[in-house]
Chains A and B, each alone.
Chain A
Amino acid sequence: MRNQSVDSESKQLNKPKATDISSDSIWRRMVSRFVQYRPAVFGLVIIVVLILIAVFAPVVAVQDPYYQDYSALKQPPSSEHILGTDALGRDVWARLVYATRVSISVGLVAVAIYTVIGTTLGAIAGYYGGAVDAVIMRITDVVMTFPALIIIITVVALVGSSLYNIMAVMGLLSWPGICRLVRGQILSLREKEFVIAAKALGASDADIIFTHLLPNVLGPITVAATFGIASAILTEASLSFLGLGVPPPQPSWGQMLTDAQKLTVLAEMPWLWVPPGLMVSLTVLCVNFVGDGLRDAFDPRTVLS
């Protein structure tokens, strides 16, 4: 899994490099820097397992996450229901497994949307500078002044909460970070000799941005996007916890914790809230570990032992 993704990225990056040998060793070094950081490897393994669980949810879950068994409400864990049942008699394990799909898909899609928006706007602002830059940066400032969760709650309340709306709203409102990052990088790169050379050779603006500048920013973007996935998963969980996220009966980890606001559930039915809480924490922790590993891997100053 890891090697595959690195390989596909390296193919894109190989193009502007002069020789294959040198770029090959850069990527091999990156992989070894990544592997050297144990938590990142641990995180990656867990994430792969979670993705497999999400894909094969029907097999892993065993039971139907939507089936309401009114003869078995709020049952503690037993051999029949390994994590017990919730207030509607649904199997907690099955819901936990299916909720993996929501968290992972929201995380990936929302971040994919805003990475594209942020990268495009940031590249345009950084490359053209002047008035274009000023306008884009002021828009970025405006979007950034709205505390993320508050504006997301508001827009979701306006457009209605569905899985796709949540992905779209989070994607459309979270791009300023990446935009600033890309702009800053492009700004420092655009005066470099290789860009001037490309310009002298008659390369078009789009050519310079996409084949000469952006590949050099791919590292920081990947790192930022990885951390972005972690916070997107947290945001989705928070929305669902507040009852403003994925609408029931579709299971999501945050929403499974909503009931625990009742003190009787909190005190007497830990099987209802501890497992989903741990799942969110573990997932986000692992994604953050991978992000940290990628940061080290992309940083040439990291010392190889």
Chain B
Amino acid sequence: MIQLKGVRKSFGKNEVLKGVDLSVKTGEVVVVLGPSGSGKTTLLRCINFLEAADDGELTIGDTKISFKHATSKEILNVRRQTAMVFQNYNLFSNMTALENVMEGLVTARNVPVAQAKEIAQKALDKVGLTDKYDSFPLQLSGGQQQRVGIARAVALNPEVILFDEPTSALDPELVGEVLAVMRKVAQDGITMVVVTHEMSFANDIANHIVFMDEGVIVEEGSPKEIFSNPKEERTKQFLERILPRWSFSI
């Protein structure tokens, strides 16, 4: 259970988040949609303190943290309960795929190496990279790198995995394999918050869809509500531009 309350963030004079409330139930897949510049990614990065929000409150599990007065210990604690998959993968380029997945377990969580190795191998098997344990990130294709990124997040067994436009940097041929892996992760009942532009994918896996624009949540609801019966004018506009009418699946 993750709850955000009144999150505010500005970069200089530019106010990116204007008081956002969001709650994610355990096991739920929340997809955040919206035009670029609407603050989706910033919101996601605020959840694990990669971006320091100016104001607001975060509840994760049983702990409540105010963004303004978060101590570094609290921040570390939140980061150890969350994991993130980045747009441009951000794999540790000095480590092999296996070491990438093990790092968060061994160094951050003091899991014994042998046990961590087992967990990491399982995670990599799950994303279909059994033959790539010892490859360095630069030796992998974009899709493979992103799958390692997902394995790295899954292996940590976090409260929530944050996906920050995981397919935006991939060429179209490779998007499918990453989405397939994400679908698998969702089916395992892991809580996910996903920022994406893949509409049909969002429709498929989301339990809850949030539409953001200009730093506020304009509308939220089930995929059915949002895609086939949007209430707000802004949501209709956005969906019309992105989805041609004939691609609706009801």
Q: Do A and B bind each other?
A: no
Partner-B contacts on A (CB < 8 A) = none
Partner-A contacts on B (CB < 8 A) = none
